[in-house]
Amino acid sequence: MSTAFLSAANTKIDIDGTEIGDLDQIGTFGGQSQVIKHTPINDGTVYKKLGSRDNGTLQLQGAYVPADAGQVAVKAAFDGRTTNTFTIELDNAVTPSTGHGTKFSFQGVVTSFQVGASGADNKVQLTATLEITGDITMTAAT
């Protein structure tokens, strides 16, 4: 059993340099390629090549905090239909006092921004969907 896994605690995501606060979940991301298939009738073998790659969708979930600058920026990106830079940083800095954790940066569009309440004993929930456009750049922890 490995103990080298990373904890999700203290993971951050920002939009254009402004941290999005009070999130419970960022979701998963990463590429998935389409498969192009070709089956010539003269040999009956299926040949495959990689097609377009889609780097995915993130589903942000957390407590809705109207005064949080990051949540305000996500709402503005949704309303303005803009493409923004998002960065996810893990809490795995090699030198915590001066370094940074592993970073994943990408361009994205906010395709939904929803607020909801369900029950007196629950928080007011924020759910936002980000569609990644283009490549994801990873920067190693320092």
Domain annotation for the chain: domains and CATH numbers: 12-139 (2.30.110)
pTM of model > 0.85 = yes
Helices (H) and strands (E) in the chain, counts: 1, 9
103-116: strand order across its sheet: 18-19, 12-15, 83-89, 103-116, 125-139, 57-63, 23-25
**Spatial separation of the C-alpha atoms in residues 131 and 111, rounded to whole Å:** 7
- Return the closest-CA partner of residue 75 out of 121, 65, 136: 65
What count of Cα atoms within 13 Å lies in the side-chain half-sphere of residue 109? 8
Lowest mean pLDDT among 2-11, 58-67, 104-113: 2-11
Residue 24: pLDDT band (50, 70, 90) is very high
Least Cα distance to 105 among 1, 29, 20 occurs for 29
